[in-house]
Structure 1
Amino acid sequence: MASEITYAEVKFKNASPAAVVKVPPETKMCEHHPQKYPPWLPWLISLLLLLVCIGLAIALCVVPFSHSRDQPTALQQKFREWRCSSTMAQSKEQGWTCCPKDWKLFQGSCYYLSTDALSWVESGQNCTGMGSHLVVINSKAEQEFLSSLAKGVFTEAYESKYYIGLSTQENGQWQWVDQTPYKKADTFWKPGEPNLLFFEKCAAIHVKGSTDSSTYCNWNNILCFTSCYRICELTAKLI
């Protein structure tokens, strides 16, 4: 009789399943590479800071000094060369009265006679651009000085006109450009002038050359758009 094979299933109570080892995923560490600078960069930065400091120091010293001068701003900008003559103040200390180059000094004022011709408005603008104004004549001495100065520019046969800072308003009243009151007794009009006031509203000195021996009453009123020479005036600089 053939023997039978019996199979039995055996379980062990204390047996534990095979341990599962968990392997953490591979991680990559971030590598920090220090940034490298050229060795001369700190020196360059230091040099730039030093230059900035020097520039600020110069600006702080020079600007107040320049403003402390008594020279008017317009003159500082427009004139680089001056001509000075010695004067004696009341304190008997030597001083200097100065005018820009090519300007003529007379009794505390500087005068410029132009070599080009413009209208009256353009002449005034030109004088203003030089820190001055069209001349305002306040005395006989000033009128004689300017007339002689103008006559000396031209030849015997030549004549011309120089605008001055006098014009008439809509109401027919004459007015100086610096608002000096107009006094008829202190004017130097030619005989018969001014005339045609409704049309000729600007004043000029009319000269006829160096040999003209006529009176210094030589003002003439003319059309304001006429091209004429001009006389500019500014206060002389005292130093």
Structure 2
Amino acid sequence: MASEITYAEVKFKNESPAPVVKGPPETKKPEQHPQKYPLWLPWLISLLLLLVCIALVVVLLVLPLCHSSGQPSALQQQFSEWECDSAVPQGTDRGWTCCPKGWRRFQGSCYFLSTDKLSCDKSAQNCTGMGSQLVVINSKAEQEFLSEQTKQTPKRMNVYIGLFENKVGQWQWVDKTPYNVTAAFWREGEPSPDYDENCTVIYVPEPTFHNWNDVKATMLHHRICEAAAVFV
């Protein structure tokens, strides 16, 4: 009798499991965050800052050329460079007082002291051409201020102001301001009775502020022009 062969699957508990082949560790890719700001943004910010700077320049330098009425004065139309300070007369709501560059300010007025000499009539025309007039002196303080200014460099001898004699003994300011003899600053013995001396100068060498002389209109002298300051 033939022997029956039986096959059985036998598992051994101590059998080692098949080795697991491990590949190289995966390299973690860095996370790519979306760009938060476009490349042109810094340029836009720079442009905006530049525009702000330009606006400030306009406010500080261009606005002095505009009155509150929006209409530039004759003086403003003649000059593009201005000098401003924070001294503002009471009763105004502006922050700066401005005069053309090279002019001198006292209270609410700007003054131009010429370095050249002209006749009386030409002096008046020159001031008018600059949007101003020959100075009209309204107070002792203004007279003292101008007397000191005329003594500064360059050296001057006589300086025209805006006081004229229309008829013998009848003096009048160029802007029609009434002439007040008690508020005049003539030198001793002036004005002279000569009918042809119908213009007025400040005689600079006079040590006091009573320094007005009447002179002939044809004489060549320096001049003082006056215009209202601009408040901004």
Task: State the distance in 2 between where 1:74 and 1:179 align.
Answer: 19
Match of 1:223 among 216, 222, 230: 216
TM value normalised by structure 1? 0.64
In the alignment, the residues of structure 2 paired with residue 175 and residue 105 of structure 1 have an alpha-carbon distance, to the nearest angstrom, of 24
The question of whether the paired residues in 2 share the 8 Å contact of 1:89 and 1:95 is answered with no
Residue 161 (structure 1) shift: 0.4
- Residues 129-168 of structure 1, C-alpha deviation per residue, up to 9 Å, x if partnerless? 000000000101000000000001245xxx5100000010
Contact 1:117 1:227 in 2 (8 A): yes
Correspondence 1:235 to 2:223: no
Further displaced range: 190-199 or 139-148: 190-199
Matched residues in 2 for 1:223 and 1:194: separation? 12
In the alignment of these two chains, the number of paired residues is 167
Are the counterparts in 1 of residues 83 and 101 from structure 2 also a CA contact under 8 Å? yes
8 Å CA contact 2:117, 2:221 repeated in 1: yes
Q: 1:139 to 1:224 in 2, by over 3 A?
A: same
Cα deviation, 1:113-137, whole Å, max 9, x if unaligned, reads: 0011001100000000000000000
Q: What letter corresponds to residue 180 of structure 1 in structure 2?
A: T
Q: Greater Rg, structure 1 or structure 2?
A: 1
Structure 2 residue aligned with 1:206, among 203, 207, 219? 203
Provide the identity percentage.
54
Q: After TM superposition, give the deviation of residue 99 of structure 1 in Å.
A: 0.2
**Structure 2 residues not aligned, in runs of 5+:** 1-65
Q: How far apart are 1:222 and its partner, in Å?
A: 0.5
Corresponding residue of 1:151: 151
2:67, 2:148 → 1: CA distance? Answer: 38
Pair 1:193 & 2:190 matched: yes
Q: 1:188 to 1:89 in 2, by over 3 A?
A: closer
Distance across 2 between alignment mates of 1:89 and 1:219: 28
Distance 1:171 1:77, change over 3 A: same
What is the root-mean-square deviation in Å for CA atoms of aligned residues? 2.3
Runs of 4+ in 1 over 2 A off after TM superposition: 66-73, 87-94
